[in-house]
């Protein structure tokens, strides 16, 4: 990791006001991603991966409130920027790729025009220049026959093609940070691999910091140098990929690794993690939100969470690490 | 596109024929005997039968229908029994009068309801959202003829700002020459400034009365459609790409929200066509609705049939326009199919 990270999130807490009470979706989330680094946010559904990304991008639902924290990017705190200033950064310096690419694109606007909109907005392109640049971008994400495809509507393209368009959209202005939120969900396995290869290749080419959000630990291990494991709005472990895969310190991470299917494993040998995420609306959430599911639980777990960091940067938030 | 339109028109033919059959039969099933009505209360039985034969009403219903179809094919709508006027000519002069009201009201309510709905959706919970809710609730709660009466009372009787509710022009103006039958347009074409002002000032109150009523469904649908689109994935993408809010709202959200709004527009238009009758009565407007009501009371077959046929053709045209608009806005609706 380089000295100044491309994006550094500190003590980020987010709450959602719902009819049935306040959901404490994120609690003191912190991590950093270096320039050119590819890091993964891994966790089960509802662990707060996407909320973290939305909070950093400042595109949270109006019901979501950032109650504490910082997100430092190029010397400024993204969470303190005015709506106007953050809109200036979004799509230019910070970009995001979403899951289900087909619904993530405007269904009644030609994909070339959607790309051109972003280029006109951020790259100061004229509408004619944006057209050629848009076709250039489509070529870059290896869409065959880009001139013709630029005139297509999303419904005329396959899911994989739509995701390539999404990538072109996100990378059009050469952002410094890319957040890819489950970019391969809903695509078939071969397309998944090409899409991931494309993202990592383009990231390496531009020296961009990439955050891959996924629930697939195998995918994260294959493409990322570092993995942050999230559980119920906490980052429970943050480690270089090899260190985590060889020796996970947090009980939850260990269970997750055990539950990752290998091609050789049989279905009945597949491990599962007992229990569910705690109800994040509870007022009396324990300091460790995993403790109800944990086999290593002791009285010490009632204390505020520690953060043990090893020399190789392997950090864990647990009183009784493995 | 042209092929699509022709195909749709061909598909509408059975509908129109069905309408012809049903109205023809229904008109004859109505209580009342036009021959007796026409002959007058003092007529003898022989006189009535004579008139019946003269009107062709002594023939069997299928035979009468055949004669009706043959006349229609020659563009002949028949004659009104009570006025002796050609139904075709009546429709040609009265339909523009009604359409002038209906289209005017539609334009006015669109001009208010659509921006109101968009603003209410982009600022939920704000004062403009609450205003929209109050206006729409009030709008549907008040029947247009009642609003019309209140408007006449306030703006003609109390304030004297509006002209007397006595039809399409004031007593001193004469109808402008022209083809369209829309006085506002004809007066403009003929360059008759005073006639234009007179026609517009006569239009204002009835149009406002109708527009207040149609405002509600339009504003509601616009708000609901906008809220739904604004919550969709591609709006999140547009925001994450840093597109300015005005562009997100109009170029991305509003165009997608237009589809349900257009559907509602079509429905509102057909409500207005049928619902303008009472407003026409209140403002002594020589429209097609008042004409149909009078004919219905007199069991006057030809005007009833002419009216219903005109309406059916209007609906067919309206639906075609809506479908074409759909295809223009949404590329997923194939116009070639």
pLDDT in tens, B287-332: 888 888 888 887 788 888 888 888 888 888 888 898 888 888 888 8
Establish if B239 touches chain A: CB-CB under 8 angstroms.
yes
Going from the first residue of chain B to its last (337 residues), give the mean pLDDT of each consecutive group of 10, the final group possibly shorter.
Answer: 84 88 84 76 83 82 88 84 83 89 93 93 89 86 86 89 81 76 83 84 90 90 94 93 91 92 89 83 86 82 86 88 88 70
Residue A39 within a domain? yes
Which residue is closest to B124 within chain A, CA to CA?
A62
Give the closest of A57, A92, A103 to B233, CB-based: A103
Establish if B232 touches chain A: CB-CB under 8 angstroms.
yes
φ and ψ at residue A309, rounded to 5 degrees: -115, 130
Establish if B328 touches chain A: CB-CB under 8 angstroms.
no
Give the closest of B241, B247, B330 to A108, CB-based: B330
Cα dihedral A83, A88, A93, A98 sign? positive
Q: Is the separation of the CB atoms in A175 and A93 below 8 Å? A: yes
- Pair (A47, A135) in one structural domain: no
3-class DSSP assignment, residue B190: helix
This model of the complex carries an ipTM of: 0.89
Q: Is the separation of the CB atoms in A72 and A10 below 8 Å? A: yes
Size of interface A-B (CB pairs under 8 A): 78
Tell which residue, B117, A241, A74, has the closest CA to residue A229.
Answer: A241
- Pair (A118, A221) in one structural domain: no
Residues of B in contact with A169 (CB under 8 A): 237, 241
> Cα dist. B69→B74, B77, B304 in Å?
9, 9, 15
What pLDDT was estimated at residue B223?
93
Give the closest of B234, B251, B332 to A105, CB-based: B234
Residue A13 within a domain? yes
Domain range summary for chain B, segments of one domain joined by +: 102-287
Establish if B222 touches chain A: CB-CB under 8 angstroms.
no
- Pair (A115, A260) in one structural domain: no
More confident residue, B188 or A47: A47
Contact A103 B332 (CB under 8 A): no
- The shortest C-alpha distance from A91 to chain B (Å) reads 4
In which element (H, E) is residue A135 found? helix A127-140
What pLDDT was estimated at residue A2?
47
Residue A322 within a domain? no
Mean pLDDT of A12-31: 92
3-class DSSP assignment, residue A274: coil
Mean pLDDT of A105-113: 94
Per-residue pLDDT band at A1 (split at 50, 70, 90): very low
Establish if B123 touches chain A: CB-CB under 8 angstroms.
no
Give the closest of B238, B243, B329 to A108, CB-based: B329
- The shortest C-alpha distance from B236 to chain A (Å) reads 7
Q: Is the separation of the CB atoms in A166 and B240 below 8 Å? A: no
The least confident of A16-25, A199-208, B91-100, B171-180 is B171-180
Instruction: Tally Cβ neighbours within 10 Å of residue A267.
Output: 6
Residue A67 within a domain? yes
**B102-287 to CATH, choices 1.20.120, 1.10.3470, 1.10.3720, 1.10.287:** 1.10.3720
CATH of the domain at A223: 3.40.50.300
Residue A1 within a domain? no
Tell which residue, A98, A99, A102, has the closest CA to residue A156.
Answer: A102
Half-sphere exposure at residue A141, Cβ-oriented, CA atoms within 13 angstroms: 25
- Pair (A145, A186) in one structural domain: no
Give the closest of A109, A121, A155 to B242, CB-based: A121
What pLDDT was estimated at residue A185?
82
- Pair (A87, A25) in one structural domain: yes
- Pair (A164, A187) in one structural domain: no
The order of strands in the sheet holding A76-77 is A21-33, A7-18, A64-73, A76-77
Establish if B243 touches chain A: CB-CB under 8 angstroms.
yes
Establish if A308 touches chain B: CB-CB under 8 angstroms.
no
Instruction: Tally Cβ neighbours within 10 Å of residue B307.
Output: 24
- Pair (A68, A18) in one structural domain: yes
DSSP string, B310-325: HHHHHHHHHHHHHHHH
Establish if B241 touches chain A: CB-CB under 8 angstroms.
yes
Establish if A135 touches chain B: CB-CB under 8 angstroms.
no
- Pair (A214, A284) in one structural domain: yes
Model confidence over A53-89: pLDDT tens digits?
999 999 998 889 999 999 999 889 999 999 899 999 9
- Pair (A260, A196) in one structural domain: yes
- Pair (A307, A243) in one structural domain: yes
CA–CA dist A110, B278 (Å, integer):
47
Establish if B279 touches chain A: CB-CB under 8 angstroms.
no
Relative to beta strand A209-214, strand A38-42 is parallel
3-class DSSP assignment, residue A10: strand
Residues of B in contact with A98 (CB under 8 A): 233, 236-237, 240
Average pLDDT in chain A: 89
What pLDDT was estimated at residue A303?
87
What pLDDT was estimated at residue A3?
63
SS (H, E, C) A28-90: EEEEEECCCCEEEEECCCCCCHHHHHHHHHCCCCCCEEEEEEEEEECCEEHHHCCHHHHHHHE
Instruction: Tally Cβ neighbours within 10 Å of residue A177.
Output: 23
More confident residue, A282 or A119: A119
> In the predicted model, is pLDDT for residue A165 greater than 90?
yes
What pLDDT was estimated at residue B337?
47
Relative to beta strand A209-214, strand A177-181 is parallel
Residues of B in contact with A106 (CB under 8 A): 234, 237-238, 252, 256
Residue A2 within a domain? no
Crossing angle between the packed helical segments B144-151 and B255-282, to the nearest 10 degrees: 60
What pLDDT was estimated at residue A37?
92
Q: For residue A43, what are the contacts with CB-CB under 8 A and spacing of at least 6?
A: A49, A215, A229, A230, A231
Residues of B in contact with A91 (CB under 8 A): 240-243
In which element (H, E) is residue A228 found? strand A226-231
Give the closest of B239, B244, B255 to A108, CB-based: B255
Per-residue pLDDT band at A263 (split at 50, 70, 90): low
> Cα dist. B265→A28, B105, B114 in Å?
50, 12, 11
Number of structural domains chain A divides into: 2
- Pair (A141, A270) in one structural domain: no
Establish if A106 touches chain B: CB-CB under 8 angstroms.
yes
DSSP string, B271-310: HHHHHHHHHHHHTT---HHHHHHHHHHTT-HHHHHHHHHH
Tell which residue, A165, A210, A208, A193, has the closest CA to residue A53.
Answer: A210
Contact A104 B236 (CB under 8 A): yes
In which element (H, E) is residue A230 found? strand A226-231
What percentage of chain A reaches a pLDDT higher than 70? 97
> In the predicted model, is pLDDT for residue A223 greater than 60?
yes
- Pair (A86, A165) in one structural domain: no
Contact A118 B242 (CB under 8 A): yes
CA–CA dist A275, A105 (Å, integer):
36
What pLDDT was estimated at residue B336?
57
Q: Which of A125, A154, A172 marks a domain boundary? A: A172
Which residue is closest to A91 within chain B, CA to CA?
B241
Tell which residue, A42, A35, A48, A32, has the closest CA to residue A233.
Answer: A48
The least confident of A236-245, A255-264, B223-232 is A255-264
Q: Which of A172, A191, A222 marks a domain boundary? A: A172
Half-sphere exposure at residue B37, Cβ-oriented, CA atoms within 13 angstroms: 16
Give the closest of B239, B247, B255 to A59, CB-based: B239
Alpha helices (runs of H) in chain B, residue ranges in sequence order: 2-29, 34-39, 45-55, 61-73, 87-122, 127-141, 144-151, 183-190, 193-230, 233-240, 245-247, 255-282, 288-297, 301-329
Contact A103 B243 (CB under 8 A): no
Mutation site, A17, A63, A101, A106, interface B, largest B CB count within 10 A: A106
Domain that includes residue A122, residue range = 101-172
Give the closest of A105, A155, A166 to B332, CB-based: A155
Relative to beta strand A234-240, strand A226-231 is antiparallel
> In the predicted model, is pLDDT for residue A112 greater than 50?
yes
- The shortest C-alpha distance from B237 to chain A (Å) reads 6
Establish if A59 touches chain B: CB-CB under 8 angstroms.
yes
What pLDDT was estimated at residue A186?
77
| Backbone torsion region of residue A71, taken as left when φ is above 0, otherwise alpha when ψ lies between -120 and 50, otherwise beta | beta
Establish if B255 touches chain A: CB-CB under 8 angstroms.
yes
In which element (H, E) is residue A235 found? strand A234-240
DSSP string, A170-212: HHTT--SEEEEESTTTTS-HHHHHHHHHHHHHHHHHHT-EEEE
DSSP label at residue A23 = E
């Amino acid at each position: 990791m380089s000295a100044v990270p491309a994006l550094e999130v500190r003590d980020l807490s987010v709450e959602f006001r719902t009819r049935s009470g306040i959901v404490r979706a994120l609690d003191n989330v912190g991590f950093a991603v270096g320039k050119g680094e590819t890091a993964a946010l891994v966790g089960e559904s509802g662990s707060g991966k996407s909320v973290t990304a939305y909070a950093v991008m400042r595109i949270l639902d109006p019901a979501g409130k950032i109650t504490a924290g910082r997100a430092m990017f190029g010397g400024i705190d993204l969470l303190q920027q005015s709506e106007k200033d953050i809109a200036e950064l979004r799509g230019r310096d910070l970009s995001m790729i979403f899951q289900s690419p087909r619904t993530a694109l405007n269904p009644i606007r030609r994909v070339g025009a959607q790309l051109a909109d972003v280029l006109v907005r951020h790259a100061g392109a004229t509408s004619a220049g944006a057209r050629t640049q848009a076709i250039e971008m489509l070529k870059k994400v290896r869409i065959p026959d880009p001139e013709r495809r630029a005139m297509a509507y999303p419904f005329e393209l396959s899911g994989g093609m739509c995701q390539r368009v999404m990538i072109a959209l996100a990378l059009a202005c050469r952002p410094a940070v890319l957040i890819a939120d489950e970019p391969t969900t809903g695509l078939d396995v071969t397309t998944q691999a090409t899409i991931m290869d494309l993202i990592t290749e383009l990231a390496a080419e531009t020296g961009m910091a990439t955050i891959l959000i996924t629930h697939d630990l195998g995918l994260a291990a294959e493409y990322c140098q570092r993995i942050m494991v999230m559980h119920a709005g906490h980052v429970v472990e943050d480690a270089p990929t090899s260190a985590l895969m060889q020796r996970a310190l947090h009980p939850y991470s260990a269970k997750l690794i055990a539950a990752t299917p290998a091609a050789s494993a049989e279905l009945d040998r597949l491990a599962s993690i007992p229990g569910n995420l705690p109800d994040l609306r509870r007022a009396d959430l324990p300091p460790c939100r995993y403790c109800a599911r944990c086999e290593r639980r002791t009285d010490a777990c009632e204390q505020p969470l520690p953060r043990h960091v090893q020399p190789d940067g392997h950090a864990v938030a647990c009183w009784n690490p493995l | 596109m042209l092929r699509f339109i022709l195909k749709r028109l061909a598909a509408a033919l059975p509908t129109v024929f069905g309408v012809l059959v049903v109205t023809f039969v229904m008109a004859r099933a109505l209580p009342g005997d036009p021959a007796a009505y026409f002959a007058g209360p003092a007529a003898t039985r022989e006189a009535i039968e004579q008139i019946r034969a003269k009107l062709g009403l002594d023939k069997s219903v299928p035979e009468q229908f055949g004669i009706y179809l043959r006349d229609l094919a020659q563009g002949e709508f028949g004659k009104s029994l009570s006025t002796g006027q050609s139904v075709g000519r009546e429709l040609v002069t009265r339909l523009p009068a009604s359409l002038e009201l209906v289209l005017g009201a539609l334009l006015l309510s669109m001009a208010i309801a659509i921006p109101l709905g968009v603003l209410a959706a982009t600022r939920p919970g704000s004062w403009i959202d609450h205003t929209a809710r109050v206006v729409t609730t009030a709008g549907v709660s008040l029947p247009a003829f009642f609003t019309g009466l209140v408007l006449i009372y306030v703006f003609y009787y109390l304030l004297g700002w509006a002209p007397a509710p006595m039809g399409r022009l004031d007593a001193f103006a004469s109808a402008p020459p022209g083809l369209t039958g829309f006085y506002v347009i004809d007066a403009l074409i003929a360059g008759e400034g005073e006639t234009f002002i007179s026609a517009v000032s006569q239009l204002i109150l009835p149009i406002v009365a109708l527009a207040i009523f149609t405002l509600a469904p339009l504003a509601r649908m616009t708000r609901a459609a906008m809220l739904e689109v604004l919550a969709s994935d591609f709006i999140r993408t547009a925001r994450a790409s840093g597109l300015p809010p005005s562009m997100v709202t109009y170029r991305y959200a509003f165009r997608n929200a237009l589809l349900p709004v257009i559907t509602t527009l079509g429905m509102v238009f057909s409500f207005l066509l049928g619902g303008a009758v009472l407003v026409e009565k209140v403002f002594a407007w020589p429209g097609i609705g008042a004409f149909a009501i009078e004919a219905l009371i007199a069991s006057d077959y030809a005007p009833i049939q002419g009216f219903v046929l005109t309406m059916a053709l209007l609906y067919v045209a309206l639906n075609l326009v809506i479908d074409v608009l759909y295809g223009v806005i949404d590329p997923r609706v194939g116009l070639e199919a």
